[in-house]
Structure formats: structure tokens, C-alpha cells
């Protein structure tokens, strides 16, 4: 009950704080204003959130595009290819990777990855850096849920495949993966939720310029980073506008979680 | 019957080993970097001294103290709330009951709310509306909201692992449900609570975004809960982003943080396996 109260409190609070922005600025201006200069009065400031929305979208999609195949491959490797001990070590290191705090990922990305990318194409702090770090961060989520889903595939399926003379790869691809698909999908959705909500790492490696990126090497600013950068000094309409973006984040994540629940139920049935 | 083709099989095996090695290699790369650049900086004086020159020199003594205080506040607040809620979910709410379901769903949502949104909420609600300012208290309360779901999930598992005979025996003796809960089931749920506690500490220790604007930046030794105090993770962020030449101490601090977290997470998974059985997952 207490926890329910806390959630309700947070959501109610976010809505209450967003109301001034939503009523005086209106949703349209968040999408159509010429730029993001939110300081000052509602009439003077401009409130275009599109660059941040696009930034978050690109970052999350890019990270998933890398992390989902790599994560599923890792899981197949663990369940079908690796010798027992190697698989155990691999799973342990996935858990370790999941336990690294995001500020450490951000720091490592900033001092190691960003200079490497800078050598390729300045300025280094870029969409690409954010995608790579995010992919690394959500990889364990995908891999560990996929391992669990593959482990739950009934033995009889695998025995049937063996009886048909299928090789390892054919067994994994044609039998085990389709059977584990719901679990793998919910893992990917969870990873998406994590990528959308991630703040520190993205804040540290992406450069944070308010712009719709035109290439992988352009700096971007995510919604979360925008809140982190500006809430320290935001007042009035500006603060309210930040609350609107917080609300957007919660809604997106709630939708992803609802989808996970949908898939989870279907997997049980 | 289709003929067995070995070509794709071998190719797939090669690709999978390659991906696995790549992932392991990246993890190794991060850990080796942290050790290589951080280990030289960690010493007893680093752990106890105050930072000097904006953190470029000196140690992390006051920062460790602030971190511990922030954690303490969040646990003192979260544990009673969490145990109460877990007891309700496990003992009173039937699995299909609408209220129990609503609470459980909101817990799942709470667990997924991005930390920066907690930070925004904490800054305005605790720091500004309740007038706590940038303080250890405000940071701790914000973190308490964040660790609640973890704590509740684990404690609930602890209650559920208590044998059914306890409840029947209590009912046969004519004990009220409240008395049975306090004297029999609560002790039985302690292992779950401990697991949740350790996991919660792990999450709280790793947290940065929710703390920057609630517990603040100040590196002085905190003298009360209403003082601002900088957490370890915020220290890493500040050194990396705002202090040119701060990388050395940032590496050392990151190493300290990672070692702490590994110890904590290791304890948690050991305890979970030992006490709650294999089936329990986060």
C-alpha cells in the first residue's frame, strides 16, 4: 500500500507540476516551436522537445540494434555451444556487467571510447558513443532473460530435434529460438525501457547539443540528459517543461512494461 | 529427411564464439582499465583524507562518510515501509485481489521509473516543497523511494518461503493474524529481508542521477543530516565532467565503488541462493 502510495504520489506530483506547461504552452508548441530556449516567460521562451525525443529514440534504437542480436547470440552460446564451465563463467560475467554502475560506464566511455571516436571523426562525444555504451549496458538484460527463456524450452523439443538428426545450429535456430521467442522479446522490451531511462552514461558521452543529429558522429541530447542538465537552475515554465519530459519518460516506460506483461502472459498460456 | 549440412553449423559456432569473446573482451577491457589506472591511487590515506584542489588531489574520506549517511537514511525509511507492504502482499492480499494486483503493478512501474525522474521528483518535493534543501536527508528519502520495490519483492519472497505449518499452527493456537505475523512469520522472513536489503544497498550505491540535485555536491565532512554531502558516484561524475585533470582520482574512486558493489552483489546472490532457494530471481 505504501509503495502504491509512493507511485501515485510521484505520478500525481509530476502531473501537477506539468499542468502549467501543458495548459499555457500546449502540446503543439513542444513539437512545433522553432527551438529549445525555455528560460523566461511562456510567451518569450521556445519549447521544442523534438531534438531530445529524436535523440532518445535514436540512442535507444541503435543500442537495441546492437544489443539484441549480441545478447541472443550470447544466450545461444551459453546454452548450446559453450562447455559447462565456460558457460558458467560467461553467465557470471554477464551478471558482473549488469552490476557496473552507469556512472562508471559513462566515465569509461568518456576517457576511453570518446577519444577513439574523436580520432575517427571529431568531436567524439556523439550519438555513436552513446549507442555503444548503452548497448553494452543493456546487453546483460537481453542475454540473461534469453538464457532463462532458452533454459525453459521443454527438453522433449530438443530431443525431438536430435532424433531428427538436426545439427546444433539448426536445433538452436529452428527449434529452441522460436520456442523461446516470447521470453526473448520481453527481455528486449525491458532493455528498451532501461535504455530510454538511462541518464548518467548518456549525459557523459553524448555531447548534449540540442540538435537533430544528421550522422552517427553528431552530438545529441537525450530527454533524460536534458532533465539532468537543466533542472538545477530551471524555474517556472522551464521547470514545468522539464516535468512534462519526465512524464513522457514514465508513459513510454509504462507502455513498454505493459507490453512485457502482455508477452509474459502469452508465454504462460 | 533433409541432408545434414555441416557448413552453416561450423560458421555459426565460429560466429557465436566470436561474439562471446568480444563481449568478454570488452568487460575485461573496462576492468583492466579500472585496475591499471585506479589501483595506484587507492591507499589508506586516499580512503580517509579530504579531497583537495577540487578533487584532483587528496582522498575521498568525507565522501565515503556522506555516502554511508545517505544509505543509512534511505534504509531507515524504506525498511519499515517495505516490510509492512511485503507482509500485506504475502499474507493478506489474495493473489488475484484487485488491491494486491494494483500495488504489485505500481511496484513494477516504480522499479522502472528512470532515476533522473526520481531526482526531479526528489529535488522539487523533498528539497523545495518540504524545505530540506540540498541535504543528506533529501537524498536519502529520494533513494528510499527507489529501493522500495527491490526490498518489497525480496521480503515478500521471504514471507512466502515460510512454511504453511506456521500459519496453521498459529491459527490452531488461536493467535490473531497480527500476532502470528509478528512472532512467527516475521522471523521466518528475515532472510528475504536481508537479501532485499543488500540488493537495495547495491542499487542505492550505484545511483547518481537521483542524487546530484537532492544530496548535492558539497565535499566537506557532513556535520548533520541537513548538510549537503557528495556521494561516491556523484564524485566520479564531477571529476570526470567538471574537473580537468581529475581522471586519476576518478579512476581510483570508480575502483573503490566497483569493489564495494561486487562485494555487495556477491553477498546478495550468495544469500539468495542459500536462503531463498534457486527459484528466486530478481
Give me the residue spans of the domains in chain A: 52-234
B119, HSE (Cβ side, Cα atoms, 13 Å): 28
With CB atoms and an 8 Å threshold, state whether B107 touches A107.
no
User: Distance (Å) from the C-alpha of residue A268 to the closest C-alpha of chain B?
Assistant: 16
Residues B107, B152: contact at Cβ < 8 Å? yes
Over residues B131-160, mean pLDDT: 87
Which among B24, B81, B145 is the nearest to A90, CB-wise? B24
Query: Which residues sit opposite B51 in a β-bridge?
Result: B58
Nearest chain A residue (CA) to B99 = A1
Nearest chain A residue (CA) to B92 = A1
Separation of alpha carbons A190 and A149, rounded Å = 14
B83 has a pLDDT exceeding 70: yes
Predicted confidence band at B29 (pLDDT cuts at 50, 70, 90)? very high
Which among B19, B120, B208 is the nearest to A246, CB-wise? B120
C-alpha distance from residue A241 to each of A216, B79, B162, B173, B219 (Å): 28, 34, 48, 59, 31
User: Mutating which of A104, A250, A251 best tests the B interface, going by the most B Cβ atoms within 10 A?
Assistant: A104
User: Distance (Å) from the C-alpha of residue B71 to the closest C-alpha of chain A?
Assistant: 16
The model's pLDDT over A100-151, given as tens digits with 9 standing for 90+, comes to 899 999 999 999 999 999 888 878 888 999 999 999 999 999 999 999 889 8
Which among B88, B115, B261 is the nearest to A1, CB-wise? B88
Which residues are CB-contacts of A168 (< 8 A; sequence separation ≥ 6)?
A80, A81, B9, B12, B13
Q: What are the structural domain ranges in chain B?
A: 61-231
Residues B248, B34: contact at Cβ < 8 Å? no
- The vertex-B173 CA angle with B169 and B175, nearest 5°, equals 95
Query: Which residues sit opposite A37 in a β-bridge?
Result: A46
Which among B202, B241, B261 is the nearest to A204, CB-wise? B241
Separation of alpha carbons A177 and A149, rounded Å = 9
pLDDT at A268: 44
DSSP for chain A reads -HHHHHHHHHHHHHHHHHHHHHHHT-HHHHHHSS-EE--S-TTT-EE--HHHHHHHHHHHHHHHHHHHHHHHHHHHIIIIIS-HHHHHHHHHHHHHHHHS-HHHHHHHIIIIIHHHHHHHSTT--SHHHHHHHHHHHHHHHHHHHHHHHHHTS-HHHHHHHHHTT--HHHIIIIIIHHHHHHHHHHHHHHHHHHHHH--HHHHHHSB---S--SSTTS-B--HHHHHHHHTTT--HHHHHHHHHHHHHHHHHHHHHHHHHHHHHHHHH-
Nearest chain A residue (CA) to B153 = A3
Task: Count the Cβ atoms, other than its own, within 10 Å of residue A97.
Answer: 22
Chain B residues in contact with A3 by the CB 8 A cut-off are: 81-82, 85, 103, 106-107, 110, 148-149, 152
With CB atoms and an 8 Å threshold, state whether A10 touches B81.
no
With CB atoms and an 8 Å threshold, state whether A14 touches B121.
yes
Separation of alpha carbons B197 and B217, rounded Å = 26
B3 has a pLDDT exceeding 60: no
Which residues in chain B (41-100) have CB-CB distances under 8 A to chain A? 81-82, 84-85, 88, 99
A178 has a pLDDT exceeding 50: yes
Predicted confidence band at B282 (pLDDT cuts at 50, 70, 90)? very low
pLDDT at B281: 46
CATH architecture of A52-234: Orthogonal Bundle (1.10)
Task: Give the H/E segment covering residue B29.
Answer: helix B6-38
Which among B26, B107, B233 is the nearest to A101, CB-wise? B233
Separation of alpha carbons B127 and A195, rounded Å = 28
Separation of alpha carbons A104 and A122, rounded Å = 23
Q: Which residue has the cell 525431438?
A: A160
B114 touches chain A (CB under 8 A): yes
Separation of alpha carbons B254 and B208, rounded Å = 12
The model's pLDDT over A11-48, given as tens digits with 9 standing for 90+, comes to 788 888 887 777 777 777 777 777 777 765 656 677 88
Burial (CB count <10 Å: 0-12, 13-18, 19+), residue B258: buried
Q: What is the ipTM of this complex?
A: 0.83
B117 has a pLDDT exceeding 80: yes
B280 touches chain A (CB under 8 A): no
Over residues B85-99, mean pLDDT: 76
C-alpha distance from residue A159 to each of A146, A155, A268, B9 (Å): 20, 6, 22, 18
Task: Count the Cβ atoms, other than its own, within 10 Å of residue A6.
Answer: 22
Give the E-state strand segments of chain B in sequence order: 51-52, 57-58
Nearest chain B residue (CA) to A133 = B26
Torsion angle defined by CA atoms of residues A84, A86, A88 and A92, in that order, rounded to the nearest 10 degrees: 180
B140, HSE (Cβ side, Cα atoms, 13 Å): 23
Grid cell locating A227: 532533465
User: Distance (Å) from the C-alpha of residue B266 to the closest C-alpha of chain A?
Assistant: 9
Which residues are CB-contacts of B30 (< 8 A; sequence separation ≥ 6)?
A100, A104, A108
Separation of alpha carbons A262 and A48, rounded Å = 33
User: Mutating which of B37, B87, B98, B114 best tests the A interface, going by the most A Cβ atoms within 10 A?
Assistant: B114
Nearest chain A residue (CA) to B214 = A232
The model's pLDDT over B206-256, given as tens digits with 9 standing for 90+, comes to 888 888 888 877 778 887 787 888 888 999 998 888 888 888 889 999 999
Which among B15, B99, B233 is the nearest to A103, CB-wise? B233
pLDDT at A1: 60
Which among B23, B212, B262 is the nearest to A99, CB-wise? B262
Which residues in chain B (147-166) have CB-CB distances under 8 A to chain A? 148-149, 152
Grid cell locating B156: 515478500
Residues A113, A133: contact at Cβ < 8 Å? yes
Separation of alpha carbons A87 and B247, rounded Å = 35
Chain A residues in contact with B123 by the CB 8 A cut-off are: 231
Predicted confidence band at A246 (pLDDT cuts at 50, 70, 90)? confident
The model's pLDDT over A222-242, given as tens digits with 9 standing for 90+, comes to 889 988 888 877 777 788 888
B203 has a pLDDT exceeding 50: yes
Torsion angle defined by CA atoms of residues A145, A147, A152 and A156, in that order, rounded to the nearest 10 degrees: 150
| Top-confidence residue, B73 or A257 | B73
The model's pLDDT over A53-81, given as tens digits with 9 standing for 90+, comes to 999 999 999 999 999 999 999 999 988 88
B270 has a pLDDT exceeding 70: yes
Nearest chain B residue (CA) to A108 = B30
Chain B residues in contact with A242 by the CB 8 A cut-off are: 120
Burial (CB count <10 Å: 0-12, 13-18, 19+), residue A92: exposed
Separation of alpha carbons A176 and A152, rounded Å = 10
Per CATH, domain B61-231 is 3.40.50.300: no
Helix (H, G, I), strand (E, B) or coil at B51: strand
With CB atoms and an 8 Å threshold, state whether A243 touches B206.
no
Q: pTM of the full predicted structure?
A: 0.86
With CB atoms and an 8 Å threshold, state whether B265 touches A95.
yes
Amino acid at each position: 500500500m505504501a509503495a502504491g502510495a509512493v507511485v501515485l504520489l510521484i505520478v500525481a506530483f509530476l502531473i501537477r507540476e506539468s499542468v502549467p506547461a501543458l495548459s499555457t504552452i500546449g502540446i503543439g508548441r513542444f513539437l512545433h516551436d522553432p527551438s529549445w530556449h525555455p528560460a523566461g516567460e511562456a510567451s518569450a521562451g521556445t519549447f521544442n522537445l523534438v531534438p531530445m525525443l529524436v535523440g532518445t529514440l535514436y540512442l535507444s534504437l541503435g543500442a537495441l540494434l546492437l544489443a539484441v542480436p549480441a545478447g541472443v547470440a550470447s544466450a545461444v552460446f551459453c546454452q548450446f555451444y559453450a562447455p559447462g564451465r565456460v558457460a558458467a563463467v560467461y553467465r557470471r560475467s554477464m551478471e558482473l556487467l549488469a552490476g557496473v554502475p552507469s556512472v562508471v560506464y559513462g566515465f569509461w566511455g568518456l576517457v576511453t571510447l570518446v577519444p577513439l571516436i574523436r580520432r575517427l571523426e571529431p568531436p567524439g562525444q556523439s550519438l555513436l558513443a552513446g549507442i555503444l555504451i548503452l548497448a553494452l549496458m543493456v546487453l546483460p538484460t537481453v542475454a540473461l532473460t534469453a538464457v532463462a527463456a532458452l533454459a525453459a524450452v521443454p527438453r522433449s523439443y530438443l530431443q525431438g530435434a536430435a532424433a531428427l538428426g538436426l545439427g546444433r545450429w539448426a536445433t538452436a535456430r529452428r527449434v529452441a529460438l522460436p520456442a523461446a521467442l516470447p521470453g526473448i522479446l520481453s527481455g528486449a522490451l525491458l532493455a528498451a525501457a532501461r535504455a530510454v531511462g538511462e541518464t548518467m552514461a548518456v549525459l557523459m558521452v553524448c555531447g548534449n547539443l540540442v540538435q537533430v543529429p544528421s550522422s552517427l558522429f553528431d552530438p545529441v541530447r537525450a530527454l533524460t540528459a536534458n532533465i539532468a542538465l537543466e533542472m538545477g537552475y530551471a524555474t517556472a515554465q522551464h521547470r514545468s517543461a522539464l516535468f512534462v519530459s519526465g512524464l513522457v519518460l514514465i508513459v513510454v516506460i509504462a507502455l513498454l512494461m505493459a507490453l512485457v506483461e502482455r508477452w509474459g502472459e502469452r508465454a504462460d498460456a | 529427411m533433409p541432408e545434414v549440412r555441416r557448413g552453416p553449423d561450423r560458421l555459426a559456432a565460429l560466429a557465436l564464439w566470436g561474439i562471446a569473446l568480444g563481449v568478454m573482451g570488452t568487460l575485461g577491457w573496462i576492468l583492466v582499465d579500472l585496475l591499471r589506472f585506479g589501483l595506484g591511487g587507492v591507499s589508506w590515506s586516499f580512503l580517509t583524507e579530504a579531497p583537495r584542489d577540487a578533487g584532483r588531489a587528496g582522498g575521498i574520506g568525507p565522501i565515503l562518510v556522506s555516502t554511508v549517511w545517505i544509505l543509512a537514511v534511505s534504509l531507515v525509511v524504506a525498511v519499515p515501509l517495505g516490510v509492512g507492504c511485503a507482509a500485506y502482499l504475502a499474507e493478506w492480499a489474495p493473489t488475484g485481489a484487485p488491491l494486491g494486483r494494483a500495488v504489485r503493478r505500481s511496484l513494477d512501474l516504480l522499479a522502472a521509473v528512470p532515476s533522473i525522474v526520481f531526482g526531479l521528483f526528489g529535488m522539487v518535493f523533498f528539497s523545495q516543497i518540504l524545505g530540506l534543501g540540498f541535504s543528506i536527508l533529501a537524498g536519502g528519502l529520494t533513494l528510499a523511494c527507489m529501493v522500495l520495490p527491490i526490498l518489497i519483492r525480496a521480503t515478500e519472497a521471504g514471507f512466502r518461503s515460510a512454511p504453511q505449518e506456521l500459519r496453521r499452527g498459529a491459527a490452531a493456537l488461536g493467535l490473531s493474524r497480527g500476532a502470528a505475523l509478528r512472532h512467527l512469520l516475521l522471523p521466518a522472513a528475515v532472510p528475504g529481508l536481508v537479501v532485499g536489503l543488500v540488493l537495495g544497498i547495491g542499487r542505492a550505491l550505484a545511483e547518481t542521477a537521483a542524487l546530484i540535485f537532492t544530496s548535492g555536491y558539497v565535499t566537506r565532512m557532513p556535520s548533520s543530516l541537513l548538510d549537503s554531502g557528495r556521494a561516491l558516484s556523484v564524485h566520479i561524475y564531477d571529476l570526470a565532467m567538471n574537473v580537468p585533470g581529475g581522471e586519476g582520482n576518478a579512476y581510483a574512486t570508480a575502483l573503490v565503488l566497483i569493489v564495494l558493489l561486487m562485494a555487495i552483489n556477491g553477498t546478495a546472490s550468495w544469500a539468495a541462493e542459500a536462503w531463498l532457494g534457486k527459484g528466486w530471481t530478481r
